[in-house]
C-alpha cells in the first residue's frame, strides 16, 4: 500500500445503516488512523452474511448484543493492510488479510484454553473501540462499528486481534467467505463435532453455513448426509455439496409425518449420529435433537431470537446424548482460519465456488440484502 495515506485520516465511501428496516445509503465517511494495537485495512471484498441481515432487519433489537445506530455493517471481509498502529506485530502494510468478529489475543485465559475460541481481551460485538470512540465519522458525528469490523466501508480500522494474514495468492473475493460463513459451517462438523467416516448426518438450513456443514460432512466421509430445508430449489446445490438425501418439512407435513420420522425412515429407524441446526430456531434444534439416538450429538450453529425457548427433559442426556454449540466452527481464528485459506489455495476446497451467487458494487449493496431476505442468493460479494 502507498505510504501517502499512513498517519492521515482517509475519506472514503461506506454503506450506512441508519436504523432497522431502513435502506442502506452510501455516504462519504472519515476513517481515523489506527491507534495502539489497531490496523487500517483497505477492503477488497465483503460477503453479505445473515448476521448482517439480522441487524438490517432489526432482529437483534431485544437481544443482549452491543449495537448502536447509525452503524456500518459487514464483518466477512478480505483486504490489504494500509497502515498499522503502535505495537502491531502480526501484520504489516501490504499484507493480505481476512477479518474475524471473534478476536484472538493469544494471551488471555480463554485464548490459552484449548476448549474455547472466545477471547477476553476484545469482545465480539464491539460498537466502539476500547477508548469508547469510533474510528468512523460522518459530518463530524460518530458512526458505530458492527462486530468491531464494519467492512461495508472502503477502509476500516479494527483490532490486530481480529485480522489474520493469508497467502496473497488467495482470491480475496473468495477468501472473504472463510472469515465467517464457510469456517462456521465446515468447522462445526470437522473441528467441533469431529464427524467420523460412515456416520449419519443431518443439517437444517441449506444457506451458506448449512451447505458448508454439508461439505464438512462430505469431506469427513459420512455415509448419509441429509439436508433439511423448506425451499426445494436448494436441493440441487445441497447435493452438489455432498447431500445424499433432501427433506422438505413442508412436504413432510403434507404427507402427515414429521421431519424426525422422515429422517428415521432413512436411517434404519435410529436417526442420525450428528445433527446440525444452521437455521437459528428452537423448533429446528428440537427436531435435530429428536433425530439423534441416545449416542447422538446435536450442534447448535444458528443464532436464535430471544423469544425462541428450548424445552428439554434432563433425563434425555443420561445415556450419553449430547447438545453443544458452535461459534465460528470452534476455530481459534488467527491460528486456524488462515490455514483453511491455504487449503483453498492448494486446491483442496474448490467446491466452495458453488456457494457464491454473484457480486455487486457498494452502490448495489442494499439490493444484495433484499435478495438475501427473499432467499434468492447464497453469498453475494461486495467488490470495492
Q: Which residues, in sequence order, are CB contacts of 281 under 8 Å at separation 6+?
A: 302, 304, 308
3-state secondary structure of 327: coil
Q: Distance between CA 230 and CA 165 in Å, rounded?
A: 38
Q: Look at residues 329, 332, 326 and name the one whose alpha carbon lies nearest to residue 107.
A: 332
CA gap 301, 378 in Å, rounded: 17
Q: How far apart are CA 384 and CA 318, in angstroms?
A: 53
How many CB atoms sit inside 10 A of residue 255's CB? 10
Task: State the Cα–Cα distance between residues 216 and 238, nearest whole angstrom.
Answer: 12
DSSP per-residue string spanning 33-53: PP-TTEEEEEEEEEE--HHHH
Which DSSP symbol is given to 71? B
49 is catalytic: yes
Q: Which three cell numbers stand for residue 322?
A: 449430547
Q: What is the DSSP string of 250-271?
A: HHHHHTT--HHHHHHHTTTTT-
From 17, 111, 180, 252, the catalytic residue: 180
145 annotated active-site: no
Beta strands (DSSP E) in 293-367 are: 297-300, 322-325, 356-361
In a 3-state reduction of DSSP, which class is residue 135? coil
Task: State how far the Cα of 10 lies from the Cα of 154, in Å rounded to an integer.
Answer: 10
Question: Is 349 an annotated catalytic residue?
Answer: no
Count each helix (H run) and each strand (E run) in the chain, helices first. Answer: 10, 17
Say whether 278 is catalytic.
no
- For residue 301, what is its C-alpha cell? 450453529
> H/E element holding 235?
helix 235-241
Of the candidates 49, 71, 243, 336, the residue annotated as catalytic is 49
If residue 200 lies in a helix (H) or strand (E), which one and from where to where? strand 200-204
Residues 54, 96, 245, 349: which is the catalytic one? 54
- Look up 180 and say whether it is catalytic: yes
List 17, 50, 71, 75, catalytic entry? 75
Question: Which one from 17, 50, 51, 147 is the annotated catalytic residue?
Answer: 51
Beta strands at 245-247 and 155-159: parallel, antiparallel or unpaired: unpaired
Write out the catalytic residue numbers.
49, 51, 54, 75, 180
Amino acid at each position: 500500500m502507498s505510504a501517502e495515506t499512513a498517519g492521515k485520516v482517509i475519506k472514503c465511501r461506506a454503506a450506512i445503516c441508519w436504523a432497522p428496516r431502513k435502506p442502506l445509503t452510501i455516504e462519504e465517511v472519515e476513517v481515523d488512523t489506527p491507534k495502539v494495537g489497531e490496523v487500517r485495512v483497505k477492503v477488497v471484498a465483503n460477503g453479505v452474511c445473515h448476521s448482517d441481515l439480522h441487524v438490517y432487519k432489526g432482529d437483534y433489537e431485544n437481544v443482549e448484543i452491543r449495537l448502536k445506530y447509525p452503524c456500518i455493517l459487514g464483518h466477512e471481509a478480505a483486504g490489504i493492510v494500509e497502515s498499522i498502529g503502535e505495537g502491531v506485530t502480526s501484520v504489516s502494510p501490504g499484507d493480505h488479510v481476512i477479518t474475524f468478529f471473534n478476536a484472538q489475543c493469544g494471551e488471555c485465559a480463554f485464548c490459552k484454553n484449548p476448549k474455547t475460541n472466545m477471547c477476553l481481551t476484545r469482545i465480539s460485538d464491539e460498537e466502539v473501540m476500547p477508548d469508547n470512540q469510533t474510528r468512523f465519522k460522518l459530518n463530524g458525528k460518530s458512526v458505530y462499528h458492527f462486530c468491531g469490523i464494519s467492512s461495508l466501508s472502503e477502509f476500516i480500522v479494527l483490532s490486530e486481534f481480529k485480522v489474520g494474514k493469508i497467502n496473497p495468492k488467495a482470491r480475496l473475493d473468495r477468501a472473504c467467505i472463510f472469515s465467517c460463513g464457510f469456517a462456521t459451517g465446515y468447522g462445526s462438523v470437522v473441528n467441533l463435532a469431529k464427524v467420523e467416516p460412515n456416520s449419519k448426518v443431518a443439517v437444517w438450513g441449506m444457506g451458506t453455513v448449512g451447505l458448508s456443514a454439508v461439505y464438512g460432512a462430505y469431506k469427513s466421509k459420512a455415509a448419509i448426509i441429509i439436508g433439511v430445508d423448506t425451499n426445494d430449489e436448494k436441493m440441487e446445490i445441497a447435493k452438489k455439496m455432498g447431500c445424499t438425501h433432501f427433506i422438505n418439512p413442508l412436504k413432510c407435513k403434507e404427507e402427515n409425518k414429521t421431519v424426525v420420522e422422515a429422517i428415521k425412515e432413512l436411517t434404519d429407524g435410529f436417526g442420525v449420529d450428528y445433527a446440525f441446526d444452521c437455521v437459528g430456531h428452537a423448533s429446528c434444534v428440537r427436531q435435530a435433537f429428536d433425530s439423534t439416538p441416545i449416542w447422538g450429538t446435536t450442534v447448535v450453529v444458528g443464532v436464535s431470537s430471544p423469544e425462541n425457548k428450548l424445552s428439554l427433559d434432563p433425563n434425555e442426556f443420561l445415556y450419553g446424548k449430547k447438545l453443544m454449540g458452535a461459534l465460528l466452527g470452534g476455530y481459534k481464528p488467527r491460528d486456524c482460519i488462515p490455514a483453511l485459506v491455504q487449503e483453498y489455495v492448494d486446491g483442496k476446497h474448490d467446491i466452495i465456488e458453488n456457494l457464491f451467487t454473484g457480486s455487486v458494487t457498494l452502490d448495489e449493496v442494499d439490493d444484495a440484502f433484499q435478495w438475501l431476505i427473499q432467499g434468492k442468493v447464497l453469498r453475494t460479494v461486495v467488490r470495492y
